[in-house]
A = this chain, B = another copy of it.
């Protein structure tokens, strides 16, 4: 029998897992809309629609991967709880998913985390485990919790079930906007991008998938050039959710499937947050506005295209 979808044997997850994720999380997430906004492209030759993950539970796409991972655990494993380290939206998403499943979540967060992210975790009845602000300290603390409790680590992006959950974004865009020609996805650790790539390139490979990254955190752009995972060289981009290197599971998927990675300046990211407020009446976090920034900054690459920009989140402190 001919397989329905291509199978990339070296990847940690494939289309059937994304379809399973979609069924598993259907009642736990919002099937966020894809909305066209003529005003976003009024001086450009393309048409722009927004996939509104800022309207997701927790106001970020992270709810998808977290729910898929938590609800895939057997009862016995789930009973020992889950643990993660995250300064961002994955923290609250995992706290929520654990609460929905009725299990304990241990959320390791650096002491310089944004207040809004700490408050979001606490709103699900979880007191964050505070650690020093280095990646090493975060991982060490998460390991300590794992050893002590037997909790399962749910990594923010380098996890097959998390990637499959984020891939439901791609599935929904194709269903909601069948005429789409180009999808622009922000890339930090690469979970959303990898999942979306598998969904889109499985179901409709003619649709271009462009990754959007800040110039000041262009590690994925450089990784694609060098063929290996490159580090983030500076940590001051306003797009705080994207200052993360790719992971061992996300990199190969992105390396093989992405059409192109384009970078946005800090100025264009700030302008895109303002454009989304003025011309789409929505609040986006800077990381979520990077796809629109890329379309504006590289407008020749999108001429005459029907473009969907994924606005990945709406949380910001200011």
Interface residues of A (CB under 8 A from B): 30, 32-33, 35-38, 52, 54-55, 57, 59, 277, 280-284, 314
**Given A35-B52, A283-B283, 8 other A-B residues pairs in contact with their CB atoms under 8 A:** A33-B33, A33-B35, A54-B281, A55-B280, A55-B281, A281-B284, A281-B314, A282-B282
Enumerate chain B residues within 8 angstroms of A55, measured Cβ to Cβ: 35, 37, 280-282
The answer to whether A59 and B283 touch (CB under 8 A), given A33-B35, A35-B30, A35-B33, is no
Enumerate chain B residues within 8 angstroms of A33, measured Cβ to Cβ: 33, 35
CB distance from A27 to the nearest CB of B (A): 12
Enumerate chain B residues within 8 angstroms of A281, measured Cβ to Cβ: 54-55, 59, 282-284, 314
Q: How far is the CA of A54 from the CA of B55 in the complex (A)?
A: 14
Tell me the dominant secondary structure on chain A's binding face. mixed
Q: How far is the CA of A35 from the CA of B314 in the complex (A)?
A: 15
The answer to whether A32 and B30 touch (CB under 8 A), given A277-B283, A280-B55, A282-B282, is no
CB distance from A241 to the nearest CB of B (A): 15
Q: How far is the CA of A314 from the CA of B38 in the complex (A)?
A: 15
Closest to A116 in B: B278
CB distance from A203 to the nearest CB of B (A): 22
Give me 18 A-to-B residue pairs in the complex whose CB atoms sit less than 8 angstroms apart, sorted by A's number.
A30-B35, A30-B36, A32-B35, A33-B33, A35-B52, A35-B55, A37-B55, A38-B57, A54-B281, A55-B280, A55-B282, A59-B281, A277-B283, A281-B283, A281-B284, A281-B314, A282-B282, A283-B283
CB distance from A30 to the nearest CB of B (A): 6
CB distance from A189 to the nearest CB of B (A): 23
Q: How far is the CA of A230 from the CA of B277 in the complex (A)?
A: 37
CB distance from A38 to the nearest CB of B (A): 6
CB distance from A318 to the nearest CB of B (A): 12
Enumerate chain B residues within 8 angstroms of A36, measured Cβ to Cβ: 30
